[in-house]
Amino acid sequence: MTRALAISLNAGDAEPLAAFCQALGVPFVLLAAGGDAPVDVGAEKIVRLEGDIPPADALSAFIAEMADGFDLIVGVAHMAGKDLLPRIAGLLGQSMVGDIVEVLSASERRFLRPVVAGNAFAEVEVANGPFVASVRATAFKSAARGGNAAVETQPAPSQGSTKRVSVSEAEGGRPDLTQARVVVSGGRPLKDAETFERLIGGLADVLGGAAGATRAAVDSGIAPNDLQVGQTGKVVAPELYVAAGVSGSTQHVAGMKDSKVIVAINTDPDAPIFEIADFGLVMDLFDAIPQLIERLRD
Amino acid sequence: MKILVPVKRVPDPYAKVTVLPDGSGLDTTSLKFEINPFDEIAVEEAVRISEQREAEVVVVSIGRAECEEQLRKALAIGAHRGILVETDAELDSLGVAKVLRKVYDRESPDFVLMGKQAIDDDANQAGQMLAAMLGIPQMTFAAKIELLDGSVRVTRETDAGQETLEAPLPCVITTDLRLNEPRYVALPGIIKARSKPIDRHSLDDLGVQAECRVRVLRLQPPAPRGAGRQVQNVDELIEALRAKGVLGS
């Protein structure tokens, strides 16, 4: 690999992309198509797209046009990246390695990535030639800072045949789930949206963290979709993960088991979540969480 | 209307999988195989569409002869016919997309509906690659699909919330878990599926070569987490978290 095009789509993408390129030892150009464009992460230059970023068909065509001279195109493996990057690979006729968590050998083009919901890790080797990659942001946390890259701006391409009809952003106020230092997650025992917000949201707020949820909680309408942590939702690795009323399904655990410290609160002492918890509290969350909120608020 | 639904044979998503001691693969000795759950959702959605309007649901699987089991399951759900591209070659996602493109060219469906990812390799690539190679729109991670006149509207999850996209047909749609809950297939459906047609092709028949540029060298089990400990009450928990330094101040 001699030169990479790193594509930032969301806030917080630039740093893990820079850390990955640094781990590979390849110079890179940062394309900021959404998200931020810090000038000190060691990019050769930054190309910032201005205006609305279109759906994947138009954006992938635009990026494929500028791919000449790069033998690696890389982005972060979040929803936007998973949508866009394989399409770029398809347009260029290149293969893709997704969800990289470790560079095993840059010269031998070997990478580590989780498979089967994180129950195994595959060592993969990419054949010679240009390719596309995505990285888990939780695995490439800090890039060496320094320098001052030149910023070039270009208008974002206009929509292609796929039109964006409507967008609804979840109401903010809390840190982004994938970036938060603390995540408090709840499962179906939370009963309803109001209880979820009061207990899970309340504890997240006193800890300065984000709220997360299991698929069961999302499916039963207790928590909004974008809070889902798991194999098919978001992958998080905060300093502290508090799982309350979460049984610990494989699906959910795949999205949070790399957290530094895991706390499980559950009435069922045999819940699988206790197997991966650093601290387990067998207690009703309706007793435990109000107590935690009260003590931690002081 | 014709809907093409690719289905993959994967290890039982609810079974505990372990890596063989030599790292050569998963221990499959006692594993059952199933339709990839995301693909099953795609089959269910396509069949529901065919129950509401004139539509033929064609399911395709790529792999060894055993993939017929998954095609039969899809036919039992209500798909009309199957295509088995028989090969024991290793394919990466681009290789799969290239085979699907050949099937697409032969079938000329109105759209392709497929799982967003397979739960074995968790790649989440083939649908987007197929759409790119065909030069048609893609709408990934669909939580809701509405067919309009000549176009389709998909509501999907994004990193920050939800969005609704609209694209003309033909296109590729990939399914998320909350699109629907696949039906329970009763015995009459299973029996009926036995007599539905399955066409068999080799890669040669389709005029496509097996490609695999991303190769799995070996598997390793995840690193075990250190044993945790039980705390008795909230005060003990707070004390333990303070000692770990994860409570901030």
Can you give the pLDDT at residue A232? 79
pLDDT digits (tens, 9 = 90+) for B181-198: 899 998 999 999 999 999
**Residues contacting B159, CB < 8 A, separation 6+:** A10, A78, A79, A80, A178, A226, A234
> Edge-to-edge strands of the sheet including A96-100?
A96-100, A131-135, A72-76, A4-8, A28-32, A45-50, A150-155
Query: Scanning every residue of chain B, which has its alpha carbon at the shortest distance from the alpha carbon of A97?
Result: B214
Can you give the pLDDT at residue B249? 52
Q: Is the peptide bond before B170 cis (omega within 30 degrees of 0)?
A: yes
| Assembly ipTM | 0.94
Can you give the pLDDT at residue A174? 86
Q: What angle do CA A92, A138, A43 make, to 5 degrees?
A: 55
Query: Scanning every residue of chain B, which has its alpha carbon at the shortest distance from the alpha carbon of A254?
Result: B222
Can you give the pLDDT at residue B38? 96
- Chain-chain contact of A98 with B159 (C-beta, under 8 angstroms): no
Q: Which of B93, B122, B164 sits opposite A165 (nearest CB)?
A: B164
What whole-number distance in Å separates Cα of residue B136 and Cα of residue A91? Answer: 11
- Please give the residue that has the higher pLDDT: either B212 or A250: B212
Sorting pLDDT into bands at 50, 70 and 90, what band is B204? very high
- Chain-chain contact of A278 with B97 (C-beta, under 8 angstroms): no
Task: Evaluate if residue A87 carries a pLDDT over 80.
Answer: yes
Task: Evaluate if residue A261 carries a pLDDT over 90.
Answer: yes
Query: Scanning every residue of chain B, which has its alpha carbon at the shortest distance from the alpha carbon of A58?
Result: B137
Can you give the pLDDT at residue A171? 63
Task: Count Cα atoms within 13 angstroms, Cβ side, for A213.
Answer: 26
Lowest mean pLDDT, pick from A66-70, A257-261, A277-281? A257-261
Can you give the pLDDT at residue B114? 98
What whole-number distance in Å separates Cα of residue B233 and Cα of residue A252? Answer: 25
The per-residue pLDDT of chain B, averaged, comes to 94
Can you give the pLDDT at residue B223? 82
Task: Evaluate if residue A170 carries a pLDDT over 80.
Answer: no
Mean pLDDT to the nearest integer, B67-92: 97
pLDDT digits (tens, 9 = 90+) for B93-140: 999 999 999 999 999 999 999 999 999 999 999 999 999 999 999 999
Mean pLDDT to the nearest integer, A18-32: 97
Sorting pLDDT into bands at 50, 70 and 90, what band is A233? confident
pLDDT digits (tens, 9 = 90+) for B150-166: 999 999 988 888 899 99
Task: Evaluate if residue B13 carries a pLDDT over 90.
Answer: no
Can you give the pLDDT at residue B95? 98
Residue B99 to chain A, least CA–CA distance (Å) = 13
Q: Which residues of A touch B19 (CB under 8 A)?
A: 120
Residue B162 to chain A, least CA–CA distance (Å) = 5
- Chain-chain contact of B167 with A167 (C-beta, under 8 angstroms): no
Task: Evaluate if residue A205 carries a pLDDT over 70.
Answer: yes
Sorting pLDDT into bands at 50, 70 and 90, what band is A172? low
Sorting pLDDT into bands at 50, 70 and 90, what band is A135? very high
